[in-house]
Structure formats: structure tokens, C-alpha cells
Amino acid sequence: MTEKEKMLSGLLYNPGINELESERLYAQDLCFALNQLPPSAVDKRQQLFKKLLGKTTQQFTIMPGFQCDYGYNIEIGDNFFANFNCIILDAAKVTFGHNVLVAPNCGFYTSGHPLDSQTRNSGLEFAKPITIGNNVWIGGNVIVLPGVTIGDDSVIAAGSIVDRDIPSNVIAMGTPCRVYKTLKEH
């Protein structure tokens, strides 16, 4: 099994191999180009994002300051909006549903490191997917950690650190993020 196959399977893998390093450099170059474009270059931005991301739709907006590891593991639904300084570490799949709003300075981190210091110091890491449902609003400065699923129609309050699954139709907040209130289903 290759290191990339291990990465995509959620196993410990070595991110320092040439194939993964070159894929990250490719994504970093595209992110650099995207972040240097003037705000009026909307069509060029969309073209570059469609080249970078694994799956897009016709209607999405991602503001400058965007960074990712690979890009090809990111899928966004219709009417996706990510405000300034969104970081997506996508060593595993990151899926956003339709009508998702992401406030400024948010991070989605699929990558993690072993707790055992000897294994961690060897350079190995793991990645677990993140799934964001439909009609989700993620407030500013939210961090979503590896393996988390956020259900449809939920709101994550600003400043939260989401370290476990959040169900549908709730407001969740805090560090660590917990359900605060259930919302009425429509």
C-alpha cells in the first residue's frame, strides 16, 4: 500500500514522500495564485478553484486567504460561501453540503498526529474525513477537528472547537463544542 493510499484510508502514513510533497506544492502554487488575484477577477478565481478542488458547483464563493493541503479532497455544494482566511487541511475528504456559510478565520483539519511521542517524532500522521451537512452556518474562528460530522441545518457559534459530531438542527458552541439548543425543524 502506498503512503497516499494509507493517507486516504485513515492509516498512519509518511507525508514526506515525493508524491505527496509534489501534490502539496501544486496545491500551494494554486492557492498562492488565487490569493494574488484582484477582487474583480471573479471568473479567473472560479477557474482556478475548479482546477484545485475535487468537486465544485456553478455557484460558490471563496474569499482570499484560502489555503489547503491538496485540494482534490475538498468537495463543496451549491451556494457555498467561505469568508476570508479559510484553511482546509485535506489529507482526508472534506465535504461541504449545499448552502454552507463559513465565517472568517475558520479551519478544517483532517490531519492529526499520534499521541505516542516516539511515533509522532518519526514523522507519521493520520487523517480522518470531515463532513459538513446542508444549510450549516459556521461562525468566525471555528476549528473543526479530524473525523467530525456536522448535521444539516446546524449553527456552530464563533470561537468553537468542534472535536466530536454535532447533530442536525442545533446550535452548538464552546471549547469543546457542545449542543446548546435544539432548533425547530422546518
Q: List, by residue number, the catalytic residues.
A: 113
Q: Which of 186, 112, 105 is nearest to 138 (CA)?
A: 105
Compute the distance between CA of residue 147 and CA of residue 165 in angstroms, rounded to an integer: 8
Compute the distance between CA of residue 121 and CA of residue 125 in angstroms, rounded to an integer: 10
Q: Which of 150, 136, 18, 145 is nearest to 88 (CA)?
A: 145
Compute the distance between CA of residue 12 and CA of residue 126 in angstroms, rounded to an integer: 5
Compute the distance between CA of residue 159 and CA of residue 168 in angstroms, rounded to an integer: 19
